[in-house]
Amino acid sequence: MEGMNNQLLKIDLSAERISVDQIENQILQFYLGGRGLGVKLFTDIVPKSIDPLSKENMLIFSIGPITGSTVPTSGRFSLVTKSPLTNTIFHSNSGGYWGPYFKKCGYDCLIISNKLRDEDKGYIVIDRNEKVEIKDASHLWGLKTSSLVEKIRESEGKNSQVLCIGPAGENLVKFSSIMNQAHRAFGRGGVGAVMGSKNLKAIVVKNGNKKFPIKDKEHIRRLNVVALDKIRVVPTTSQGLAMFGTSALVKVINLFGMLPVRNFQSAFTDSNRIDLVSGEKLRDTYLVSNEGCYNCIIKCGRLTSTGEMSGKGPEYESLWALGPLIGIFNLKEITHANYLCNDYGLDTISTGGTIACAMELQKNSIISDPNLEFGKDEILYNIIEKIALKDGIGEELAEGSLRFSRKYDALNYAMQVKGMEIPAYDPRGAFGHALNYAVSSRGACHLTGFLAALEILGAPKLVDRFAVNGKSDLLFLKQNQSAVEDSLIVCKFVGYALGFEFQARFLSSVLNKEITSKDLITIGERIYNLERLFNLREGFSKADDTLPTRFLETPLIEGPSKGKIVPLKRLLQDYYNVRQWDESGNPTEELLERLSIKRLVK
């Protein structure tokens, strides 16, 4: 397929065997690249009911037809595996430069299978001219991510792009991350533990010299001019994200009564207190400079310093999870905690969500640990270290909120879906967004169908956040669009300025044939349904498409979302109908035939 190398790099760690296969053109036409390609290959290869931390699990990294091109925000790449936190199929993506570097080395996809011997520790180096090696990492094991990247760049070159795990991944923490250059992340679902289970410390890629000629260069040049103009004038991309990064959302989400506080016990904070942790406060106090990914003019990344420590972030979700969610409004301590999570390789959302769950158990005398009290910022640094090292109560917390609360027969205190902790939007404040949490293929996820864009941000238009009718149709489109964006693969933020039609025009130029928005929606629908089929095969059912009872039975008592609970039963019934799933949540035979996919049985 145009825009791709059609090359699949396979690394079998047990045999230390490296090989290259061709990718079938029909797979690329049906699934594009990135998430779609990874999901297709993963579901074809991985057998039923494997342990995510066993050697049978695989890590599949993929780029897409737009990766590394002149298209704005074309630096992203994807990961697909089975999550040790949720036991679902899991997809994630990251930015920076690793993806374009990998593509320029001549590959579209990397499959890592099996594991190194228990006594061995290793890292992979992918260089230009098809040079791929597995090197000894025994001297790197135990290092935090920032130190590791420095060490690897000393030996492999200062421009090397590094994916790595920290001590949390080595210790198989179920919400550990794979860090990208130490401060970006494949953050959710415990993918770092999958890499750690394979005794693999890092994957290094060096800038190759492969080029990807685009046949209609003039057309894509004109599209880029229009796209960049739109990005520069739309307030979200030209002002909000550019000036304050994602933390601009702190005040916005609070104004709608959706900023969860103290383990979702409330969702609104007075303005004086919220100012202490706002994006404006972060910019005025700790911002050093903005940072962007490959070919991005938005530059939403924040390089920050408190005077005592420096790093990147915190992003909105991290600021909230390590702050208001656990009752902390000390921006300096939150920023330090964010740096520490990055260094140990921990997902900030699940870290905060699991700590918040434990704090509510402590508050209700279900557990006894005086350090686990809401608002106690002096303990945050210590408890993060304990989780990463599985020390003391950190060993229990390292399992995530679902398993932790289950141990104490207190599941109602775990704010999670399918095992993954809920992000920074109280579902009682936006019903379409709530529905997405319940049905997302990877557990509680705001990115697989970010309906808050319409319900809260009004992008591209504002819809009634408490309406039920029509939400399933909107979510159907948003989830399918998201699957395509993750497969092209481009940043979701650029969608606020360009819209989905623009992606079809970009892809048409790259492939040198007409691709319509309808074509892309069908591809997204195929990807989403294949993920559903995998989860059904693994034992998930309609019963798992739900939310914690707090959101279904306990109304918020203050703020702009006061009195609301999620009418999930009505939403779910409509959604199944729109998706062409039966009343049990299974895709119908007619749907599968239309999408040219089959049920998974093995």
* pLDDT at residue 93 is higher than 70: yes
CA–CA dist 438, 542 (Å, integer): 10
Predicted pLDDT at 213? 66
At 538-588, the pLDDT tens digits run 999 999 999 999 999 999 999 999 999 999 999 999 999 999 999 999 999
229 vs 125, 192, 219, 220, 233, CA distance in Å?
39, 38, 16, 14, 6
* pLDDT at residue 591 is higher than 90: yes
Predicted pLDDT at 237? 85
CA–CA dist 281, 430 (Å, integer): 26
Domains (range + CATH), the chain: 7-205 (3.60.9.10), 247-416 (1.10.569.10), 427-595 (1.10.599.10)
Q: Which two tokens stand for residue 379?
A: 């303990």
At 7-63, the pLDDT tens digits run 999 999 999 999 999 999 999 999 999 999 999 999 999 999 999 999 999 999 999
Cα 515–Cα 517–Cα 521 angle in degrees, nearest 5: 110
Check residues 216 and 73 and name the one with the higher pLDDT. 73
* pLDDT at residue 495 is higher than 90: no
Q: Which of 115-124, 225-234, 358-367, 432-441 has the lowest mean pLDDT?
A: 225-234
* pLDDT at residue 216 is higher than 80: no
Q: Which residue has the tokens 């920050």?
A: 304
At 81-92, the pLDDT tens digits run 999 999 999 999
At 251-294, the pLDDT tens digits run 999 999 999 999 999 999 999 999 999 999 999 999 999 999 99
* pLDDT at residue 420 is higher than 70: yes
With contact defined as beta carbons under 8 Å apart, do 65 and 4 qualify?
yes
* pLDDT at residue 215 is higher than 80: no
Q: Which residue has the tokens 């690793």?
A: 98
At 188-213, the pLDDT tens digits run 999 999 999 999 999 999 988 887 76
Predicted pLDDT at 214? 73
Over the chain, what is the mean pLDDT?
Answer: 95
DSSP string, 360-406: HHHHTTSS--TT--TT-GGGHHHHHHHHHHT-THHHHHTT-HHHHHH
Predicted pLDDT at 183? 93
Give 180's DSSP letter: E
* pLDDT at residue 129 is higher than 80: no
Q: Most distant CA pair in the chain: distance in Å? A: 67
Query: How large a percentage of the chain has pLDDT more than 70?
Result: 100
Give the residue-averaged pLDDT of 508-526: 92
Predicted pLDDT at 212? 73
Q: Which two tokens stand for residue 467?
A: 């309406």
Residue among 118, 37, 64, 492 nearest 298 (CA): 492
Beta-strand pair 122-127/131-136: antiparallel
